[in-house]
Amino acid sequence: MGKKGKKEKKGRGAEKTAAKMEKKVSKRSRKEEEDLEALIAHFQTLDAKRTQTVEVPCPPPSPRLNASLSVHPEKDELILFGGEYFNGQKTFLYNELYVYNIRKDTWTKVDIPSPPPRRCAHQAVVVPQGGGQLWVFGGEFASPNGEQFYHYKDLWVLHLATKTWEQVKSTGGPSGRSGHRMVAWKRQLILFGGFHESTRDYIYYNDVYAFNLDTFTWSKLSPSGTGPTPRSGCQMSVTPQGGIVVYGGYSKQRVKKDVDKGTRHSDMFLLKPEDGREDKWVWTRMNPSGVKPTPRSGFSVAMAPNHQTLFFGGVCDEEEEESLLGEFFNDLYFYDATRNRWFEGQLKGPKSEKKKRRRGRKEEPEGGSKPACGGAGTQGPVQVVKEVVAEDGTVVTIKQVLTAPGLAGQPRSEDEDSLEEASSPAPGPCPRSNAMLAVKHGVLYVYGGMFEAGDRQVTLSDLHCLDLHRMEAWKALVEMDPETQEWLEETDSEEDSEEVEGAEGGVDDEDSGEESSAED
């Protein structure tokens, strides 16, 4: 009894500390968020001028990251909402809605009256009832100078059948946050974690909430057992057995004044109803076998066939004394909850590879595959390392691992010379973090995201797909040339930092670099 009582007392002490920190952050950020509410209201006034739904065929969306890409439950469509884009001086935030028709390979921009305010790092979940519903919670907005953040705590639903947005107001829900994760579980939305940041403080969460899709009410869950530490940007997926798996994520702690230490988590937990009761939950630590992903942040997740969880990309930032090593990934991993096992996604390469490549050489335009954002060569993974010396003398090392899905690991053939001549870099998403994933009919779609080249952040707008049943090779549906992307050098001009109206939701955002990619 004595040990148990001591443990419970310690647990209550941790809860009190977390509550005090949240109160401290809330007090300091309240004034900041009040300032931003006026800007958000201004954009909502512009959005309110829409009186009817307008659907217009359009080119592929502009580059962005931290958006949501969702699968329509009844149609062969992908739904893209929100996101952000950083051009070196400002971050543009979006609340646009795009629909990609898989069979026709076409994009449509759908303008709907009274949409949610501009945001990124939100969560979107699709449920099938009523012809399909897209539920959106939370996310963030930022001030023009990038030093103030507004974290939403609103809940919206897009009725896909009628193409109408509706804000669902219900008390007792999660506090404002971004970088959280949300899944559909039976007739509920289950939400975990995230973070909230103000100018001087931040807090990470490990709380769990449930939203009932029948009663439209929130409830805070209090699972027993030892669960994950506070974090954002983790993997969260539903298992065939009816549990919910949480893996990895990112958090940071203040080790001393103005010095923060980031942590890339690589632990895994299972959240499930205790004794089959939906009002009582329990956390369990898991130790999966197999080939696990290396520790990283900014990875993306989707549900693959056979109830497996697909894990793609991300970034690992290693801080040294005077250099910052950013290693971006484009590898694939699968987690099989039935076997509690990780395994790496290995591409086989298409059949008749030589003939296809010879034909493709004539059809592809010159320079169609760019070294900065193409696949890899034919001899397996290639590591590209670039060193850039900043003005202050800091050496920034950017390392990218480029994989060759087509011929990696295969023996060299008799036609080696002709193959090397005929095969330009295999199409496929370049290493990146914070990409958007979706799986429809067993095909994985990867859109956008970002990587860094020296001091420059490259935001992507390409779209690639991969047949997960065949696992042969990537196909590029939308390509882009990162070299053509606008990049503006930072400026100390107050005039530039105060320009808001013309940016259409754009703001200077110093958090849009590695910290944002890690946390979201």
Question: pLDDT of 411-421, one tens digit each?
Answer: 333 343 333 33
- 245 pLDDT more than 60: yes
Task: Record the pTM.
Answer: 0.79
Averaged pLDDT, 330-354: 88
Averaged pLDDT, 55-59: 98
Bridge partners of 460, per DSSP, are 449
Q: How confident is the model at residue 59, as a pLDDT?
A: 97
3-state secondary structure 181-241: EEEEECCEEEEEEEEEECCCCEEEEEEEEEEECCCCEEEEECCECCCCCCCECCEEEECCC
CB 429 within 8 A of CB 474: yes
- 374 pLDDT more than 50: no
Q: Three-state SS for 114?
A: coil
Note the Cα 471 to chain centre separation in Å. Answer: 23
Rounded Cα–Cα distance for residues 81 and 54 (Å): 16
What does the pLDDT look like over 137-151, one tens digit per residue? 999 998 766 667 899
Q: In what order do the strands lie in the sheet with 506-507?
A: 84-86, 91-93, 506-507
Instruction: Determine which helix (DSSP H) or strand (DSSP E) holds 354, and give its type and residue range.
Output: helix 353-363
Name the pLDDT band for 393 (thresholds 50, 70, 90): very low
Query: Which residues touch 247 (CB under 8 Å, ≥6 apart)?
Result: 234, 235, 266, 267, 268, 269, 335
Rounded Cα–Cα distance for residues 11 and 4 (Å): 11
Averaged pLDDT, 253-275: 91
Q: How confident is the model at residue 435, as a pLDDT?
A: 98
Using alpha carbons, list the distances in angstroms from residue 78 to 4, 135, 437. Answer: 50, 15, 10
Averaged pLDDT, 220-226: 97
Query: Which residues touch 432 (CB under 8 Å, ≥6 apart)?
Result: 313, 328, 330, 449, 450, 451, 460
Rounded Cα–Cα distance for residues 143 and 199 (Å): 11
Averaged pLDDT, 220-236: 97
Q: In what order do the strands lie in the sheet with 202-212?
A: 181-185, 188-197, 202-212, 217-221
Q: Say which residue, 70 or 19, is predicted with more confidence.
A: 70
- 171 pLDDT more than 50: yes
Q: Say which residue, 112 or 453, is predicted with more confidence.
A: 112
Name the pLDDT band for 351 (thresholds 50, 70, 90): low
Q: How confident is the model at residue 39, as a pLDDT?
A: 86
Q: How confident is the model at residue 355, as a pLDDT?
A: 39
Q: How confident is the model at residue 471, as a pLDDT?
A: 96
Q: Which domains does the chain have, with CATH numbers?
A: 32-169 (2.120.10.80)
- 208 pLDDT more than 90: yes
Q: How confident is the model at residue 480, as a pLDDT?
A: 92
Q: How confident is the model at residue 489, as a pLDDT?
A: 78
Averaged pLDDT, 423-446: 87
Q: How confident is the model at residue 482, as a pLDDT?
A: 87
CB 443 within 8 A of CB 475: no
Amino acid at 153: K
- In the chain, the percentage of residues whose pLDDT exceeds 90 is 57
Q: Three-state SS for 130?
A: helix
Using alpha carbons, list the distances in angstroms from residue 121 to 32, 137, 147, 404, 454. Answer: 19, 10, 17, 30, 24
